[in-house]
Amino acid sequence: MRLLSDFRLPAMPDVESLAAAQRRNFEALSAANRVALEGAQAVAKRHMEILQQSMAELTEAVRAASSTTGSPQDKATSQAELVKATYGRAVANMQEISDLIQKSNGEAVSLLNRRFAEAMDEVKTLMAKASTPPKA
């Protein structure tokens, strides 16, 4: 009997507090998923806009190139300028999409990091309550 009296079980944390913490964890995860999904939709939408714009520009470039008269050097110069401008737009478009992805991911990770910090504070508080003996 003496052996059992010396053996102390750890105090049980507040079950309601644990359930509330888990609920907040799921809410934060859901919010992060929502932000990520909205970001993916924005990227897909912008990508489609860029594709449509590129196709319109390509059609116009082919039309202009086929109607251009002049020496072969003039045509080559015109085509080089077109390629240079197209390349510049492509790089700018890739940067824009990259920025959209980075922003979306940053917002989602920020939500999760904030909730993680809150959860760790909650765990410390629960453990402090559990280790404090009840007042008589």
Q: 42 in a domain, yes or no? A: yes
Q: 50 in a domain, yes or no? A: yes
pLDDT of residue 98: 95
Domain span at 66? 17-125
CA atoms of 4 and 7, how far apart (whole Å): 5
Q: 59 in a domain, yes or no? A: yes
Does residue 30 register a pLDDT over 90? yes
**0.85 exceeded by pTM:** no
Domains identified in the chain, total number: 1
pLDDT tens digit sequence for 32-63:
999 999 999 999 999 999 999 999 988 888 88
Nearest to 50 by CA among 103, 90, 83, 88: 90
Does residue 21 register a pLDDT over 80? yes
User: How confident is residue 6, by pLDDT bands cut at 50, 70 and 90?
Assistant: low
Q: 7 in a domain, yes or no? A: no
CA atoms of 129 and 12, how far apart (whole Å): 10
Count CB atoms within 10 A of the CB of residue 133.
6
pLDDT of residue 67: 76
pLDDT of residue 1: 55
